[in-house]
Amino acid sequence: MIDFDDIKLAAERLAGVVRPTTVVPLSAVSRIVDRSILAKPEHLQKTGSFKIRGAYNRIAVMAEGGSAQAVVAASAGNHGQCVALAASLTGLAATVFMPIDASFPKIEATQAYGASVVHGGETIDDCINTAREFAVQTGAEYIPPFDDPLVIAGQGTVGLELLSEAPEAEVVVVPVGGGGLISGVGVALAQRTPRPRIVGVEPTGAASMAAALRQGSPILLDPCDTVADGIAVRSVSALTLEHAAAYVDEMVTVDDEQISEAVLLLLERCKWVVEPAGAVALTAILAGKVEGSGPVLTVLSGGNVDPLVLTRLIEHGLAASGRYFRIRVIIRDRPGALADLTRTLGNLRLNILAVEHRRSGLKLDFGEVEVFLTMETRDPGHRDQVIAELEARGMRAELLD
């Protein structure tokens, strides 16, 4: 396990390399939950992720020792970009193996930081195997995303900064994928007296750390499915599990709908683009899964999200929060019936996005038609008002998923 001195050494190496991400209060979000919320905005970090800290610390030590002239990594996005930048800053060549379906913006960003990008297989596990084989064949140094003491120490500099930037935080909430970030943060915050409570957050579809803590050893999840692909890790390592067991007070999970709502809230209220993996810690706070009433700090760990994925996340978040919904309405097949329907919806101050009119469908009587509408509304209460008003006017209406 690493210690506090390892983190202080990492901070010295990272001086002038990482961008300051000073803790800020999330006043607008705090009012929603009636609790003081602070944020460590690591999504504004170089490369858009905290992972530059661990990658640079690991590669800088290697470069200082002259043990290799090249590095190799496997990544679907953030880790690869950080390895690429760290290698370029230390004068080393970098190769990053990425899955075949990796998003083009992430591939392009990794190349822009100076790495050679190679498709390494269908999945990230395939890429890891290919990268390890490449390391053996070429002598390049394999840089793991979390299972390495120097990587963990680098990530721990987030916690080191929290000691001075957020001394009032009673709880620190951290996203968990492989566990490198929460391991380092845990070691750093153990220096504070009293020590803040540390809560780790995973998506329900990829809760590998919670499963490992219950069993007492790492286990392999199958399947691993979540919108938070940046922390969709099938198994933590023995090293990160050991740190989590020593320093993490609680693990909680959040689902994809809750994550989408948090991404949307950050975009609307804070004007921040945060990727799903980076928003899970705040998601847990918003969902009421972090106990206490005192100041709570959330680490927003990354902001690298494909614009196409962001569009879907916004739509999903709108639907999950009851502001974007679809209904099926049965009306009489007569002139003016559709106009009466849209006029009623207009009077309710709804914005209609799409209308589909059908004369044949399931459970339709003779002389009836069905209309499918997609609409924007203010909140779930407004949505329920729509159904009640339509039924009061003799129309049959039902919400659709």
The three-point CA angle 218-297-219 to 5° equals 5
Strand pairing category for 37-41 and 296-300:
parallel
Domain end (from 116, 148, 180): 148
- Give the global pTM: 0.84
The three-point CA angle 34-160-219 to 5° equals 80
DSSP-assigned letters across all residues of 287-339: TT-S--SS-EEEEE-B----HHHHHHHHHHHHHHTTSEEEEEEEEESSTTHHH
Do 188 and 212 lie in one domain? The reply is yes
| Distance separating alpha carbons of residues 261 and 281, to the nearest angstrom | 13
Question: Residue 171 has what pLDDT?
Answer: 98
| Distance separating alpha carbons of residues 362 and 377, to the nearest angstrom | 27
Do 80 and 24 lie in one domain? The reply is no
Domain end (from 280, 300, 319): 319
Burial class (CB within 10 angstroms; exposed 0-12, middle 13-18, buried 19+) of 86: buried
Query: At a CB cut-off of 8 Å and minimum separation 6, what does 336 contact?
Result: none
Q: What stretch of H or E contains 89?
A: helix 78-89
- The residue among 58, 115, 53 whose CA lies nearest residue 81 is 115
Candidate list 51, 103, 208, 237, residue with the active-site label:
51
Do 307 and 180 lie in one domain? The reply is yes
Reduce the DSSP state of residue 216 to 3 states and report it. Answer: coil
Burial class (CB within 10 angstroms; exposed 0-12, middle 13-18, buried 19+) of 116: middle
Question: What is the token pair recorded at 291?
Answer: 């106990």
Do 327 and 180 lie in one domain? The reply is no
| Distance separating alpha carbons of residues 368 and 273, to the nearest angstrom | 45
Domain ranges, residue 42:
4-49+150-319
Question: What is the token pair recorded at 175?
Answer: 């996203």
Question: Residue 65 has what pLDDT?
Answer: 82
| Distance separating alpha carbons of residues 249 and 229, to the nearest angstrom | 24
Do 42 and 58 lie in one domain? The reply is no
CB distance 55 to 157 below 8 Å: no
- Digit-by-digit pLDDT tens for the chain (401 residues) are 999 999 999 999 999 999 999 999 999 999 999 999 999 999 999 999 999 999 999 999 999 888 788 999 999 889 999 999 999 999 999 999 998 888 888 899 999 999 999 998 888 888 999 999 999 999 999 999 999 999 999 999 999 999 999 999 999 999 999 999 999 999 999 999 999 999 999 999 999 999 999 999 999 998 888 999 889 899 999 999 999 999 999 999 999 999 999 999 999 899 999 999 999 999 999 999 999 999 999 999 999 988 888 888 887 777 777 777 888 888 888 888 888 888 888 888 888 888 888 876 667 777 888 899 888 877 777 777 888 888 888 888 888 86
| Distance separating alpha carbons of residues 230 and 183, to the nearest angstrom | 17
Catalytic-residue membership of 260: no
Catalytic-residue membership of 51: yes
Do 283 and 214 lie in one domain? The reply is yes
- The residue among 350, 334, 336 whose CA lies nearest residue 389 is 350
Reduce the DSSP state of residue 75 to 3 states and report it. Answer: coil
| Distance separating alpha carbons of residues 50 and 79, to the nearest angstrom | 9
Which residue is listed with tokens 């938070």?
Answer: 228
CATH number at residue 76: 3.40.50.1100
Do 177 and 262 lie in one domain? The reply is yes
Question: Residue 126 has what pLDDT?
Answer: 87
Query: At a CB cut-off of 8 Å and minimum separation 6, what does 364 contact?
Result: 330, 370
Question: Residue 361 has what pLDDT?
Answer: 60
Do 213 and 305 lie in one domain? The reply is yes
| Distance separating alpha carbons of residues 263 and 261, to the nearest angstrom | 6
Do 196 and 298 lie in one domain? The reply is yes
Do 123 and 184 lie in one domain? The reply is no
Q: How many domains does the chain have?
A: 3
CATH number at residue 377: 3.30.70.260
Domain end (from 319, 336, 363): 319
| Distance separating alpha carbons of residues 218 and 236, to the nearest angstrom | 6
Do 330 and 282 lie in one domain? The reply is no
CB distance 109 to 304 below 8 Å: yes
Do 17 and 80 lie in one domain? The reply is no
